[in-house]
Structure 1
Amino acid sequence: MVAVNMGTLYYVLDHVYGALLHRTRISPPFFSRGWGGTKLELLEKMINQLFPEIEGQNWPPALVQPVWKTVWESKTACLREGVFQTPCDEVLLNALPPESHTARVAFLSPKSCQPQRMACVVHLAGTGDHSFERRLRLGGPLLKENIATMVLESPFYGRRRPLQQHGAKLLCVSDLLLLGRATIEEARSLLHWLDYEAGFGKMGVCGLSMGGVHAAMVGSLHPTPIATFPFLSPHSAVVAFCEGVLKHATAWEALREDLAMQKVALTIEEVRERMRDVLSLTDVTRFPIPKNPNAVIYVAATDDGYIPRHSVLELQKAWPGSEVRWVSGGHVSSFLLHNGEFRRAIVDGLNRLQWKEPHS
């Protein structure tokens, strides 16, 4: 009985937090400027073309060369920050806001041994994570396990945020797809850099919430085995914006009016169906099974108000051999209280990989 009551409390906490964060008028809701017009049509086409590209093994990606500066250094570890031009192709680059063209990354690495006997995990941003600090705190204790942390600042976030955008509230639906596609390209290029330039012996990719969706996509597309860690993540953005708490943070009326301007008169429910159709492009179950699904570990919350249980299980079913670990709590409480479980999953997933041979 106590467990049930605590579960209800965690679930209610997610909704209370969501109401305070998303239903106030401090900032506009998500997609207050509509669908994104021709950009949305372009992105739908580009994402649908991802899969033939993958079948043709569009690899390697553009090799980025970050320009590094040392932030601090001790006898055992070093923190550097780097910048590089996004490796997105010209069409995608032109769709991105100018502020997002330059990517930023933080790189926390131990000095205890050579890279070929170390692992590195690329950490991708969840909704509202504009800085490096949160993910560096997650990765910092892993230094003692000889695991480095690379943190990517997402397009539309941090210093890459468009001037017109307030906080994490993306202005158009097309921005969400742009953010995802650019993040995938940048993460793939960083993994390529870690492999061929830095020479790390094992690699992984992780993220919380939205970052976990992107991590799953990157892990799916990588041509060799890497560890993949979607934490507190759905199988698709449909779940977050059409089923979970974020449906209350979405400008449904603005989206309806935007369609009406295109001479398409729809009800709010029909607008939501249109959203489900667009965001189905983010369904990770459509992506290929990773090369080593045993090194895929999800950490999910038992009473998550943002991510329902069925969404986690759909991705596990689509990727046989992957593992789900459940923690007690909701989305917000698990994010705050279960960093130890996230770190344990990272260590265990990397241990399921073989050390790769150095490139000649």
Structure 2
Amino acid sequence: MVTVNIGMLHYVIDHIYGAFMHRTKISPPFFSRGWGGSKLELLERMIKDLFPEVEGQNWPPSLIQPIWRTVWETRSACLREGVFRTTCDEQLISALPPESHTARVAFLAPKHVPPQKMACVVHLAGTGDHSFDRRLHLGGPLLKENIATMVLESPFYGRRRPMLQHGAKLLCVSDLLLLGRTTIDETRSLLHWLDSEAGFGKMGVCGLSMGGVHAAMVGSLHPTPVATLPFLSPHSAVVAFCEGILRYGTAWEALREDLAVQKPAMTLEDVRERMRNVLSLTDVTRFPIPKNPNAVIFVAATDDGYIPKHSVLELQKAWPGSEVRWVTGGHVSSFLLHNDEFRRAIIDGLNRLEWKEPPF
């Protein structure tokens, strides 16, 4: 009975937090400017093109050459920040807001260790994670394990946020797909840089919530085995925006009015069905199985008010050999309290990879 009550408390905390963040009028809701018009049509086509029919198609990605500056340095570690032009193709660049054209990364690595004897994990942003700080805090203790941390600033977030956007509340549905597609392209380019230019012996990709969905997509599409570590993540954005708490922070009436320009008889139920169809493009169960599914570790919460258990289990079922680890808590409490479990999953996922053969 006590366990049930504690679990219910975590679940209630998620809903209280969600009500405060998404039902109040502190900021506009998600998608207050509608679907995105022709941009949405472009994104729907381009996301379908992510699935290569031929092995090795769309690889290697664009090679990046970040411009680095040192933020701080000690005897044992160094934190640098780098910038590079987004690696998206010209069609996507034209759809991106100008503020998102330049990508920014933080790179925390141990010193005096050859890259071929180190691992590096790219950390992707969850909803509302506009800075590097939280992900650097997660990765910092891994330095003693010779694991470096690379943190990507998402398009539409941080310094890449469009001027008219308030916080994390994306203006159009197309922005959500554009954020995801751009994040995937840039992360694949970062992994390629870590492999071919920096020479790291092992690599991985992780993320919390939305970042975990993107991490799963990247791990799925990578041509060689990488540790893939989605934390507190659904199998699809449908779960978050059509079933979970974020549905209360979505501008359904604005979306209905946008559709009604072409189809005046549209109801809210029609709008929700249209949203499900669009966001089905983010269903990771449709993506290829990663090259080494044993190096895929999901960390999920027992009483998550945002992500139901069935969503996590659907992806595990689609990727035989992957592992789910459960932590006691809700979405918000686990996000704050279970960093050690996330770090353990990173270490274990990397340990399930073979070291890259050094060049002769």
Question: TM-score band, normalised by the shorter chain?
Answer: over 0.9
Residue 104 of structure 1 is matched in structure 2 by 104
Deviation at 1:317, TM superposition (A): 0.2
Cα distance in 2 for partners of 1:262, 1:50 equals: 29
Deviation at 1:140, TM superposition (A): 0.2
Tell me the SS of whatever aligns to 1:334: helix
Tell me the SS of whatever aligns to 2:223: coil
1:29 aligns with 2:29: yes
Residue 137 of structure 2 is matched in structure 1 by 137
Tell me the SS of whatever aligns to 1:50: coil
Which amino acid in the other structure matches residue 340 of structure 1?
D
Residue 49 of structure 1 is matched in structure 2 by 49
Cα distance in 2 for partners of 1:54, 1:137 equals: 39
Residue 19 of structure 2 is matched in structure 1 by 19
Tell me the SS of whatever aligns to 1:320: coil
Range with bigger deviation, 59-68 or 257-266: 257-266
Structure 1 136/54 Cα, relative in aligned 2: closer, same or farther at 3 Å?
A: farther
Tell me the SS of whatever aligns to 1:123: strand
Tell me the SS of whatever aligns to 1:64: coil
* 4+ residue runs over 4 A deviation: 53-56
Cα distance in 2 for partners of 1:107, 1:265 equals: 52
Unaligned 5+ segments in structure 1 are: none
Cα distance in 1 for partners of 2:189, 2:333 equals: 33
Residue 159 of structure 2 is matched in structure 1 by 159
Deviation at 1:218, TM superposition (A): 0.2
Cα distance in 2 for partners of 1:240, 1:163 equals: 25
**Counterpart mapping for 1:273-288 below 5 A:** 273-288=273-288
**Counterpart mapping for 1:1-360 below 5 A:** 1-52=1-52, 55-359=55-359
Cα distance in 2 for partners of 1:18, 1:54 equals: 43
1:66-88, CA deviations, whole angstroms, 9 ceiling, x for partnerless residues? 00000000000000000000010
- Contact residue 56 and residue 223 of structure 2 kept, 8 A: no
Structure 1 240/201 Cα, relative in aligned 2: closer, same or farther at 3 Å?
A: same
- Contact residue 236 and residue 282 of structure 2 kept, 8 A: yes
Cα distance in 1 for partners of 2:84, 2:358 equals: 25
Range with bigger deviation, 254-263 or 187-196: 254-263
Structure 1 4/109 Cα, relative in aligned 2: closer, same or farther at 3 Å?
A: same
Cα distance in 2 for partners of 1:57, 1:204 equals: 21
Tell me the SS of whatever aligns to 2:43: helix
Unaligned 5+ segments in structure 2 are: none
Quote the sequence identity (%): 84
Deviation at 1:52, TM superposition (A): 3.1
Tell me the SS of whatever aligns to 1:259: helix
1:128-155, CA deviations, whole angstroms, 9 ceiling, x for partnerless residues? 0000000000000000000000000000
- Contact residue 156 and residue 179 of structure 1 kept, 8 A: yes
- Contact residue 112 and residue 146 of structure 1 kept, 8 A: no
Deviation at 1:50, TM superposition (A): 1.5
- Contact residue 118 and residue 148 of structure 2 kept, 8 A: yes
- With the length of structure 1 as denominator, give the TM-score of the two structures: 0.99
Tell me the SS of whatever aligns to 1:104: strand
Tell me the SS of whatever aligns to 1:317: helix
Tell me the SS of whatever aligns to 1:14: helix
Which amino acid in the other structure matches residue 333 of structure 2?
S
Cα distance in 2 for partners of 1:71, 1:168 equals: 26
- Contact residue 196 and residue 359 of structure 1 kept, 8 A: no
1:171-204, CA deviations, whole angstroms, 9 ceiling, x for partnerless residues? 0000000000000000000000000000000000
- Contact residue 203 and residue 227 of structure 1 kept, 8 A: yes
Kindly report the root-mean-square deviation, in angstroms, between the aligned alpha carbons of the 2 structures: 0.9
Cα distance in 2 for partners of 1:115, 1:53 equals: 33
